[in-house]
Structure 1
Amino acid sequence: MFTIEELRENYENFDDDQIIKLINSDVKALTEPAIIVLKEQIVKRELSATYLEHINLERNFFSSREKEEIQRVIKYLKCPCCKQDLERLTGHSSSRRTGLFIAYTKSDKNYIVCSSCSKKTTKNDIIYSLFMGWWSAKSFFMNFYDIGNNIYKTNRREQLFEKMSSELIFYNTGFLRKNQCSKESINHIVKELYNPSYQEMEDFQNIYSQEKHQ
């Protein structure tokens, strides 16, 4: 563990690009002394005040009560898969394997959807693996595990929801704080988890910010 003086000496030797790179990395993982020194460097180098805002937002962690409130909102969103709100959302995790004679490929699905979509996806992945997962020596044995694991996870949807939603909220702390934990921003991160190409996060922030101030 570095002392704050050692951190000051180290950061002093960084150029602006290195400081900015550090800011844009996961500042949630930095120690409090490192955050103090990083903020000092931003002010000393006269870098943009938006970097300070970014750090403050990312480090403004949610309390247990706040996290539970966001999870409650997530539960009642429309399913990002079927676009319906007939069921509460839950956690989903499944995989499918394709044997390629001397090799294989594996596709994992980990997201938050309604129970019906989760059941349908799991069923499709099991059927796919039953037909396509055996066609290589390694894949032949691994396929037994994949199919069994898919079946096992069908009974752990609520535990998966708790884990996935907690990680999703933590990872998007700054984004949610900046948008005041609006339903639109919460819906966005759930869709982003389901489909990573759904929309660029930065574009959404700009659009939402403009609409809010109109």
Structure 2
Amino acid sequence: MYSVEEVRENYKRFPDAKIEKIARNESKGLRKEILTVLKDEIIRRQLNRSLISWVDSETQSFTGLERQSLIRKIQNQRCVKCSEKRKLYGFETHTVKSFLIGMSTSRNEQILCKPCGKQEKLNAIVMTFFAGWWSAKGFLLTPFTIFKDVINFLFIEKISDRILNGFVDDVTGSFRRYGTDDNVIYRLIKWKNKSDDN
């Protein structure tokens, strides 16, 4: 691990574009003392001051009652798939698709109501069942994947908690910048579900 002074010297050598990239894309994972170095470098170079606001919003995580309240608000949104107002859960699906010479696997997370989430899981299991066996690796991985997704039906609450907490962590900056009203939450859930579909 680099010392604060080593990081400070490295940041001084970086071009402006690299500092901006670190502020926008990597600040969430930096230690607090390194964040101070990054902000100092932005000020020293007279870069756009909005970068400091960006860094602050990305790194000010939700904790305690604030996090619990936000997760309840997320759970009380309309389902982005069926538009029904039901409690939302985080669902995880896995698919295996095999070809004679290759195989692809995918893992998706979506935030949906229970009926839509279960349907997505069943669709993934059916897809894997019919498309997963057609290569040597697929032949080995398909039964494991199907078994895992079937067993996960027993742990919907636990998996949902992990996915919802991960979602809050991933979009903390967006919540800090745009608020946590229903429209913002709905759009961010929709964005998450689409980005995990790809």
Same-fold status (TM-score > 0.5): yes
The one-letter code sitting in structure 2 at the alignment partner of 1:147 is I
Task: Let me know the Cα RMSD of the aligned residues.
Answer: 1.8
User: Where does 1:29-68 land on structure 2 (aligned, <5 Å)?
Assistant: 29-68=29-68
Amino acid at match of 1:158: E
Count of aligned pairs between the two proteins: 197
Q: Assess if the C-alpha contact under 8 Å between 2:109 and 2:196 holds in 1.
A: no
CA deviations on 1:164-195 (whole Å, 9 max, x unpaired) are 11111111111101112222222222111111
Aligned letter for 2:108? K
CA drift at 1:40: 1.1
Match of 1:75 in 2: 75
1:176 is aligned to 175
State, as a whole percentage, how many aligned pairs show the same letter: 26
Superposition pairs of residues 190-205 of structure 1, within 5 angstroms: 190-196=189-195
User: 1:10 offset after TM fit, Å?
Assistant: 2.0
Distance of 2:123 and 2:138 partners within structure 1: 18
Residue 4 of structure 2 aligns with an amino acid whose one-letter code is: I
1:53-202 equivalences under 5 Å are: 53-85=53-85, 87-196=86-195
Partner amino acid for 1:192? W
What is the CA distance between 1:11 and its match in structure 2? 1.6
The code of the aligned residue for 1:81 comes to K
Provide the C-alpha distance between the structure 2 equivalents of 1:2 and 1:96, rounded to a whole number of angstroms.
40
CA contact (8 A) 1:91 1:159 kept: no
Please state whether the residue corresponding to 2:66 is helix, strand or coil: helix
- For 2:41 and 2:122, the matched residues in 1 are separated by 54
Gaps of 5+ in 2: none
Are the equivalent residues in 2 in contact too, given 1:70–1:186 (CA < 8 A)? no
Output the CA distance in 2 between the equivalents of 1:30 and 1:4. 11
Structure 1 pair 4–106 and aligned structure 2 pair: CA distance change class (3 A): closer
Cα displacement (A) at 1:52:
0.9
Equivalent residue of 1:105, what SS? Answer: strand
Moved over 4 A (4+): none
The structure in which a higher percent of residues are helix is 2
Compute the displacement of 1:70 (Å): 0.9
Partners of 2:185 and 2:94 in 1: how far apart? 26
CA distance 1:130–1:187, shift in 2 (3 Å): same
Q: Which one-letter code corresponds to 1:107 in the other structure? A: S
How far apart, in 1, do the equivalents of 2:133 and 2:127 lie? 10
The whole-number CA distance in structure 2 between the counterparts of 1:139 and 1:174 is 39
Structure 1 residue 197 displacement after superposition: 8.9
Give the SS at the match of 2:151. helix
The 8 Å contact of residues 89 and 164 in structure 2, kept in 1 or not, is answered as no
> Matches of 1:89 and 1:157 in 2, distance apart?
11
Deviation at 1:108, TM superposition (A): 2.6
Instruction: Tell me by how many angstroms 1:25 deviates.
Output: 1.9
Tell me: CA distance 1:131–1:61, structure 2 relative to 1, closer, same or farther (3 Å): closer
Could you tell me which amino acid in structure 2 is paired with residue 23 of structure 1?
Answer: A
